[in-house]
Amino acid sequence: MLVGMPPPRNSPDGPTPPELSTASSHGYNCRCVARHFGLEPAPYGEVPACSLSESQYRRLLVEAAGLQAEAKRLAAARDVAGAHRAYGRMREIAQRLDRTDLELAAVSDLATVCYSAGDLRNARQCAEAVLQAFKVSTAAIAHFGQYVELRMIEGSREVAERVLISLSTEEGDVAGARELIADQRRRAAFRKAAEPGQFPPELLDTHGADELELRILDARVQIAAGEQAEARDALDEILTALDALAGVDEVREQVASLQAMARAERARVRQAGGEDADARADLLRLGARHEGRPLAAKAGIDLAADRALGGDLPGAIAAIVAARDELAAAGLTGDVAEASHALGGLLLLAGELGQAREQFEHAGKLWTVNEDTRGLRRLDVSLARCAAATGDWATAEEHVTRARESARRSGEWPDRLHTDFVAATLGFARGEDLPAVLDLLLPLTLAAAEYRFEFAAPQARTAWARDVAGPAMELLMALLARLGEQRLAAELIERTCAVGAYTGAEERSLDLTGALPTLEVGPVAEGLPLAALGSVTSSLPLRLAPPPALRWSPTSPMALDPWLRLAAERYRLPRPVTETVETWPAAKPGRETFLLRFADAGHTFLTWRTTEDLDTVHLHPIDFALVGTARQVLDAASPTPHEGESLADAVRRSLSEDAFGSIAGEQRLARVLALNLLPADLVERLRRAAAGGNRPLLRIQPSPSLAGVPWGLLALPDRRADHVLGIEEIGLCFDGDERVLDVADVSLLAPAAIPRRPPSADGPPVYLLDPRIPGQSAFGELGSVLGKQDTTSPLIRHLDERLAAGPVLPAAAHGLELVRRTDTDRRLLAELLAGPCSRLVFVGHVSRVRDEYGAQTALHLSCPADLPGTAAPIGAHRPFTAADLALSEMDTMPARVALIGCASASDFGLAEPFGVLLAAVAAGAGLVAATVWALPTSAAVPGADPMSELVIAVDTALAGEDPVTELCAWQRTRLARWRERPEPAASPVFWAPLICLDATDDGKTWVR
């Protein structure tokens, strides 16, 4: 009796195709089919299904369907052992029914289960077996003319290929994975275009869930290809689409599984991108939603790492052990291996080397069985660390060599970077053959630094710098110090300091008079306007640009150039041809110019040289503890508010006796900063240069840790102590009270890589003075900075004098009309800067986003919230950001600019120094006057107006021939007054933070 499948259209008595010569009966050439066609059954095989009645057959078929549904449910809950049992029974039934479609469905699903359990070997075997059987079954189907089964086994091929997509992705075969995904999409389109009824509904992806799974696989491929930002955006969109499908009964379970899959991937991307809090939120949500299931245990392993970093090492270890037990019970061998490896890492951190090695080896056994090549590379790296910790260098070398060879074979150069770094670390710790370590470490450090620029998102760049490029740089600087390679170390600092430009700004995308752009901005933090600015570069076409080719001096190229070529060759980095940029500015005639560049790399490193002797290198490491002390003392004295501190309280603290409220407190600060930050040879050379009669010029590019230092205020030591000094002993190093300002003029040095446009043509000055901010009280957080002004005020008299000398912008009849205007918004600014103008003087509020990803500061103009821009509104007001300037048609600045506001020179405190200060330079400003800390308003000293004094001095200097010299001369008069009469109104807190970024002599007017 013929039961089950419909009979074939073609009789089994035709010649068998070669593909079927070694195959089984396929249910089409068995005895029951022969009887159906009236053939002699003897030549044909017997299959178990021939002995079944119709009811028996249907009962087994229903049982198989139930087993598959149960197995899928168990697999979604990551109960691997239970899923294996269910699929095993389903395969028994498939063989009894002689149903190839059921067999392939079970084996393809098993491939998925094995992959999710980390059993990569069996996952591959199952997937490849399905595809091979599919080819044979297709030949049989075509031979016998029964095409119903072809449509029934199509889904199994799709499932098996998705496992191979994941395996190809893990192995770094990005092209192969993308080709398989494209094939799946082509077949899905073909099925949808077919006549109704040609394919079962589950193959038509009516609700789009299958396409969302392909998109998750696409995101995995993007991650493997280094396209982190694109993957992150895609996963956000996928999760939104899955949320919309969550209520559809037909795909409810599939959607739940895909949500877990997508959320786990997003957590991984967020961790890699430095978004630790968001990654933790994804993991916590996974754990809560799947509590009591293996998926929650897997999330718990990642959360345990955060617990350990928080100081609870015993709790983290206990959590991983508990999670591993759950995962082992579920049969998730891959996750068990991950747990053991994570546990080994914590035990190694705790100094339990023997136990750590046992855990690593346990993970290795599972990875060996699962044929997880990447896991085995990690095992070798971990065992190398264990061996090195006990001084067993031969074993450590053996492990790390195997890991490096595996990474090279894989073709995944980020893995090669990592294994090479481990090898360099071991070589440095061993201390033998340090030149060989340099040959390994210097190219990989350069490559790691260059790879940072491949990330589109600032979070990812910051995480890469913190976790990869930063540690490599720290180790390299220590190695160069040990080898005495001062020139290479100095060039590394110069290259680090050259970074600061953004690409993408050449494509003007923001019309300041048009419609609001659709942008992603961060949530507004209540009461914190600066937090409302968001992370602009995560949603705009601004990407950090690598430094261009640099030149060390007129007579000497960069010694790093051949090492950069080696790094590009070894790690397959692109090396675009760029204009060569000089790292030194032109010397001022008749005066010696000192170039100081600081870089943070564990410790802070200073390299300095002079324009009279560019090829002589001076390199000084400044211990991180000394930098920490300097910052602590400065933070305690500066009026920039601490977290939770009001501006009024910050000003009171800053004007206290221990800070800027007394000569003794201020002098102590100046001396502590100088002893910790200024090396003896620099101080001696400065004094010698000043003794010649021409005041030298000190040009400084600070590192992020030193962005708030008032360099001109620093005292000059007369001698150095031979022991660590207490705060009461620092006076032993000083004979008098000589400051940097007494012997030199000081300005900031722009990063060499900042592109510069030509400035505006000469014309009237532009004044934006204390703009009224929509929705803000004059006495509120964004209120007046100049206070009540009238016709007798010094500032208004100064402005009246300017008006008497010629026109100013915006047009005004009296100086008072230039202050507290309501129309000084971005539209007016764009209009004013579109024509000739000699200088721009802004006095008002400047905000900075205080996060490690920052690339944005903002001017607070009179902009209402409905004007376009990249910052989130603060009530009725929208700040004007550096990104607005970079992306708008307002692409030209006058040659001289003043940004008088809170910490307007704080760009250098950002990991990516592109705030309003450098944005103005990029737009054409050759000189920008700004301040390194928050300026107290004149309300802090009733009866005086130090803010107006500063504004008048800045405007006067910008109108003169040499603004840097004039402003430093003015500051010297303020210093003399402070020494003579140390009263609050004369305190350096009001005038010492002022500094100019001078790029007029850099010779870098170029457009990227």
Which has the closest alpha carbon to 97: 142, 73, 61, 62?
A: 61
- Provide the pLDDT for residue 965: 96
**Confidence at 770, pLDDT banded by 50, 70, 90:** very high
Identify the residue whose tokens are 């001062």.
486
Q: pLDDT value at position 852?
A: 43
Asked if residue 960 has pLDDT above 90, the reply is yes
Cβ–Cβ under 8 Å, residues 598 and 606: yes
State the pLDDT at residue 96. Answer: 82
Give yes or no for residue 520 having a pLDDT over 50: no
- Which stretch of 540-544, 795-799, 980-984 has the lowest confidence by average pLDDT? 540-544
Nearest C-alpha neighbor of 145 from the set 35, 28, 49, 39: 28
pLDDT at position 506? 58
Secondary structure letter of residue 897 according to DSSP = E
Q: Within 13 Å of residue 250, how many CA atoms lie on the same side as its CB?
A: 9
Alpha helices, H only, 117-202: 120-144, 148-170, 174-193
Distances (CA, A) of 42 to 2, 39, 96, 408: 16, 9, 21, 59
pLDDT tens column, 926-936: 999 999 998 89
Residue range 534-549, pLDDT digits in tens: 334 445 667 788 888 8
Give residue 514's pLDDT. 46
Q: State mean pLDDT over 350-369.
A: 90
pLDDT at position 727, please?
A: 78
Specify the higher pLDDT residue, 225 or 993.
993
Say yes or no to pLDDT of 306 above 90. no
> Could you tell me if 115 and 296 are in contact, meaning their C-beta atoms sit under 8 angstroms apart?
no
Query: Residue 859: which H helix or E strand, with range?
Result: strand 857-859
Q: Which pLDDT belongs to residue 868?
A: 85
Assess whether pLDDT exceeds 50 at residue 349: yes
- Report in angstroms the alpha-carbon separations of 812 from 326, 766, 861, 951: 76, 11, 18, 19
**pLDDT at residue 425 tops 60:** yes
Instruction: Render pLDDT for 580-607 as a digit per residue (tens, 0 to 9).
Output: 888 888 877 788 999 999 999 999 999 9
Look up the pTM and report it: 0.78
Predicted pLDDT of residue 145: 66
Query: What digits encode the pLDDT tens for the residues 279-294?
Result: 656 656 655 555 555 6
Query: For residue 766, is pLDDT > 90?
Result: yes
Q: Which carries the bigger pLDDT value, residue 870 or residue 362?
A: 362
Q: What is the pLDDT of residues 130-140, one digit of tens each?
A: 888 888 777 77
pLDDT score, position 850? 44
- What is the per-residue pLDDT across 431-454, written as a single tens digit (0 to 9) for each? 989 999 999 999 999 999 988 887
Does residue 57 surpass a pLDDT of 50?
yes
pLDDT for 478: 94
Q: What DSSP letter does each residue of 705-728 carry, written as one string?
A: GGTT--GGG-B--SS--SSPPPGG
Sheet containing 613-622: which strands, arranged edge to edge?
Answer: 613-622, 603-610, 593-601, 697-701, 745-748, 994-998, 927-931, 896-900, 839-843, 766-769
Task: Give the pLDDT score at 129.
Answer: 87
Residue 525 has phi, psi (to 5 degrees) of -85, 130
Instruction: Give tens-digit pLDDT for 695-733.
Output: 999 999 999 999 999 999 999 999 988 777 777 788 889
Q: How far apart are CA 361 and CA 355, in angstroms?
A: 10
Please report the pLDDT score of residue 82 as a whole number. 82
Do the beta carbons of residue 881 and residue 870 sit within 8 Å?
yes
Is beta strand 839-843 parallel, antiparallel or unpaired with respect to 766-769? parallel
Q: Which of 639, 781, 619, 645 minimizes the C-alpha distance to 708? A: 639
Per-residue pLDDT, 772:
96
Task: Read off the pLDDT of each residue in 740-753 and give the average, rounded to a whole number.
Answer: 94
The answer to whether 997 and 905 are in contact (CB under 8 A) is yes
CA distance 370 to 358: 19
pLDDT > 60? residue 224? yes
**Contact 739/670 with Cβ under 8 angstroms?**
yes
Which pLDDT belongs to residue 556?
A: 93
Q: Which SS3 state, helix, strand or coil, does residue 851 take?
A: coil
**Tokens standing for 226?**
């280094």
